[in-house]
């Protein structure tokens, strides 16, 4: 068993009595890339919210690098090394990818110099290295508004990495992307997984197959099962949960997407 970077112990989150997470137990090894799947309303977003501190557990503990996050505010948790990428890109469209990355790196540098004095690091090198990692060197000086949806997603992943988090939380990174862009984002996450711990929430099963080593299936706020993609896709409980959802769709019952 590897060293744990994240441990969720018996976490319940109640919203006015409704349990969005129910006695959830989960752990992530340092350096692991894990994909979380589950039908609509399974609790995936709430799960990320309790890790970032946006939502506090009603019961249970969230440990990051062995430290209980209960008393910490969202920005303190971010500073401990948890970075989150939301579904919609949050980049400055009037700036270029290079400028977007420079801003993020500068913010980091400022924080660093406040704590430890003037930095000597060659920041430009960091920015150009990041541009290369996310495959945007050729478009580095175009306004970000001109980038494709997939390039914007990759830029935002680059901005997340620029904050040097130990754990990256990535929410549906390929929603609405072309097949080619989906593969690019997948390759980027696989490359980043060599030096980061990463959790990805995703619906696109082809993409899950591309990147996932281990998959966790959430259902009604708890872990339904875990395993490699084939184990999970062939698990009768998973099939039942997803088929049930298909039937609901056909009958016109509520999906939030």
Ligand X SMILES: Nc1ncnc2c1ncn2[C@@H]1O[C@H](COP(=O)(O)OP(=O)(O)OP(=O)(O)O)[C@@H](O)[C@H]1O
Residues that bind ligand X (CB under 6 A): 15, 18, 20, 38, 40-46, 256-257
| CB 15 to ligand X: min, Å | 3
Helix (H) or strand (E) holding 58: none
For strand 167-171 and strand 197-201, is the pairing parallel, antiparallel, or unpaired? parallel
Give the nearest distance from C-beta 36 to ligand X in angstroms.
9
Nearest distance in Å: CB 208, ligand X? 14
Cβ distance to ligand X smaller for residue 40 or 178: 40
Distance between CA 187 and CA 234 in Å, rounded? 25
Query: What does each C-alpha distance from 98 to 91, 107, 141, 156, 160 come to in angstroms?
Result: 11, 14, 6, 12, 14
Residue closer to ligand X, measured from CB, 40 or 106: 40
CB nearer to ligand X: give 131 or 168.
168
Residue (41 or 129) nearer to ligand X, CB: 41
Q: How far is the CB of 69 from ligand X (least distance, A)?
A: 18
To ligand X, the closest distance from the beta carbon of 168 in angstroms equals 18
> How many whole angstroms separate alpha carbon 120 and alpha carbon 109?
10
Choice between 50 and 185, CB closer to ligand X: 50
Q: How far is CA 96 from the centre of its chain?
A: 24
Contact 84, 166 (CB under 8 A): no
> Around 150, how many Cα atoms within 13 Å sit in the side-chain half-sphere?
15
């Amino acid at each position: 068993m590897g060293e744990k970077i994240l441990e969720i112990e018996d976490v319940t989150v109640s919203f006015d009595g409704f349990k969005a997470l129910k006695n959830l137990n989960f752990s992530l090894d340092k350096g692991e890339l894990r994909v979380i799947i589950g039908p609509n309303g399974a609790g995936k977003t709430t799960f990320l919210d309790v890790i970032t501190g946006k939502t506090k557990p009603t019961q249970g503990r969230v440990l990051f690098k062995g430290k209980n996050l209960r008393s910490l505010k969202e920005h303190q948790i971010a500073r401990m090394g948890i970075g989150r990428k939301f579904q919609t890109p949050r980049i400055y469209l009037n700036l270029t990818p290079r400028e977007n990355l420079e801003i993020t790196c500068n913010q980091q540098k400022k924080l660093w110099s406040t704590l430890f004095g003037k930095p000597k690091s060659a920041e430009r090198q960091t920015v150009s290295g990041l541009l290369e990692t996310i495959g945007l060197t050729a478009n580095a000086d175009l306004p970000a508004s001109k980038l494709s949806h997939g390039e914007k997603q990759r830029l935002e992943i680059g901005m997340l990495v620029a904050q040097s988090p130990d754990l990256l939380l990535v929410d549906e990174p390929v929603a609405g992307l072309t097949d080619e862009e989906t593969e690019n984002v997948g390759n980027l996450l696989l490359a980043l997984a060599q030096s980061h711990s990463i959790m990805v929430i995703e619906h696109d099963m082809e993409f899950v197959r591309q990147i996932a080593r281990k998959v966790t299936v959430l259902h009604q706020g708890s872990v339904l099962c875990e395993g490699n993609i084939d184990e999970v896709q062939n698990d009768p409980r998973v099939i039942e949960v997803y088929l049930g959802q298909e039937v609901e769709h056909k009958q016109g019952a509520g999906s939030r997407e």
